[in-house]
Amino acid sequence: MVPPDTIEEPAEDQVSYKAEYIWIDGTRPTATLRSKTKILADGAEPPIWGFDGSSTNQAEGHASDRVLKPVFTSPDPIRGGENVLVLCEVENIDFTPHETNTRAAAVEVAERFAAQESWFGIEQEYTMFEGERPLGFPEGGGFPGPQGPYYCGVGASNIVGREIVEKHLDACLAAGLAISGINAEVMPGQWEFQIGPVGPVETADHLWVARWLLHRIAEDYGVTISFGAKPVKGDWNGAGAHTNFSTKAMREGYEAIITACESLGAEGKPLEHVSVYGDGIQDRLTGLHETAPWNKYSYGVSNRGASVRIPWQVEVDQKGYIEDRRPNANCDPYSVTRVIVDTCCTALEK
């Protein structure tokens, strides 16, 4: 065995680097993330790659090859150096989008309405688990004290998991993601980070990479991240992905704000939206715990019990953005941003 102090330093001009290819699998109702590593020669762009779709619910064993098409590359804050993260779309071997690829449709809608300059900011809530229990819940059973002191709290009796949260924030910044903040949530072990405001596809790309980083960092602590919508039954807040949205017209005037709110309530729209807002929406949008009932659309200024909230400052300024409070933490942001752009921009175009 070679003693450690005789191991050579790596050459200063790195001859290869690691690309972590990340993709969204075919697990349903809620997709999960997969990734694998490719070693690339220095200076080489990450090429198209392949994987075994029969192991990710994306193919049958007898015709299992699927294609990974790089769509968004960032520095890899886990490995550092020249290494990168490569978010991919999944394609069939004829390079058509795979049926589980929701990004392709989101790109199509975003491009169709590009002139309206849509921006999104998504508030991603999540819950940390150790084994079967949320972090901060007594191991042997029973419950922590009732909700109240935990939201944006400080101190060991109110807060768990902050080390992971801080590492994740730094990692997102180092990766160049459009992360705009973090906060502890209402239920112990529950946290939030926000991505945006940036364009619809960019928001969703960054959110998926930020989710991957969160899973990856928590893994080192033996902690599992749940994006489940109602991780603990009973008097405990669910986990959402409040989706803030504006177009250029909405950022310039109040009439467009109202048009957008009305369009989301038009015949057939509430159900169409809720059907892509994540699994278990009925369990979370009960009308309690700062939610509106999933099957009853409403909007209002400052109202955290409405489906869509107009922030008070937006009413004061007579311009700005709206917050769709319905999407679940486990939603697919490609589908969420796609339906919102489609519904609101169609109405605003008239």
Binding site for ligand ADP (CB under 6 A): 119-121, 123, 180-181, 194, 196-197, 242, 244-246, 251, 320-321, 323
- Residue closer to ligand ADP, measured from CB, 122 or 135: 122
- Residue closer to ligand ADP, measured from CB, 76 or 123: 123
Q: How far is the CB of 310 from ligand ADP (least distance, A)?
A: 12
Q: How far is the CB of 323 from Mn ion (least distance, A)?
A: 5
Q: How far is the CB of 152 from ligand ADP (least distance, A)?
A: 10
How many residues in total does the chain contain? 350
Q: How far is the CB of 258 from Mn ion (least distance, A)?
A: 20
What residue 120 binds from ligand ADP, Mn ion, none (CB within 5 to 8 A, per partner kind)? Answer: ligand ADP
Tell which residue, 27, 243, 224, 233, has the closest CA to residue 124: 243
Question: Over the chain, what HEC string results?
Answer: CCCHHHCCCCCCCCCEEEEEEEEECCCCCCCCEEEEEEEEECCCCCCCEEEEHHHCCCCCHHHCEEEEEEEEEEECCCCCCCCEEEEEEEECCCCCECCCCCHHHHHHHHHHCHHHCCEEEEEEEEEEEECCEECCCCCCCCCCCCCCCCCCCCCCCCCCCHHHHHHHHHHHHHCCCCEEEEEECCCCCEEEEEEEEECHHHHHHHHHHHHHHHHHHHHCCCCEEECCCCCCCCCCCCCEEEEEEECHHHHHCHHHHHHHHHHHCCCCHHHHHHCCCCCCHHHHCCCCCCCCCCCCCCEEECCCCCCEEECHHHHHHCCCCEEECCCECCCCHHHHHHHHHHHHHHHHHC
- Residue closer to Mn ion, measured from CB, 168 or 242: 242
Q: Starting at the earlier edge strand, list the strands of the sheet with 65-75.
A: 33-41, 16-24, 84-91, 65-75, 49-52
Q: How far is the CB of 347 from ligand ADP (least distance, A)?
A: 17
What residue 321 binds from Mn ion, ligand ADP, none (CB within 5 to 8 A, per partner kind)? Answer: ligand ADP
- Residue closer to Mn ion, measured from CB, 32 or 180: 180
Q: Whose CB is nearest to ligand ADP?
A: 121
What residue 121 binds from ligand ADP, Mn ion, none (CB within 5 to 8 A, per partner kind)? Answer: ligand ADP
At 235, list the tokens. 């008097």
Q: How far is the CB of 185 from Mn ion (least distance, A)?
A: 6
Could you say whether residue 192 binds Mn ion (CB under 5 A)?
Answer: yes
Residue 322 and residue 250 in contact, taking contact as beta carbons nearer than 8 Å: yes
What residue 180 binds from ligand ADP, Mn ion, none (CB within 5 to 8 A, per partner kind)? Answer: ligand ADP
Q: How far is the CB of 115 from ligand ADP (least distance, A)?
A: 17
What residue 77 binds from Mn ion, ligand ADP, none (CB within 5 to 8 A, per partner kind)? Answer: none
Could you say whether residue 123 binds Mn ion (CB under 5 A)?
Answer: yes
**Total binding residues toward Mn ion, as defined by CB under 5 A:** 3
Considering only 34, 98, 242, 284, the residue that binds Mn ion (CB under 5 A) is 242
Q: How far is the CB of 145 from ligand ADP (least distance, A)?
A: 23
Residue 289 and residue 238 in contact, taking contact as beta carbons nearer than 8 Å: yes
Q: How far is the CB of 244 from ligand ADP (least distance, A)?
A: 3
**Helix axis angle, 103-112 to 200-219, nearest 10°:** 150
Q: Which positions from 269 to 288 touch Mn ion by CB under 5 A, shown as an x/- string?
A: --------------------
- Residue closer to ligand ADP, measured from CB, 135 or 186: 186
- Residue closer to ligand ADP, measured from CB, 68 or 109: 109
- Residue closer to Mn ion, measured from CB, 109 or 164: 164
Residues that bind Mn ion (CB under 5 A): 123, 192, 242
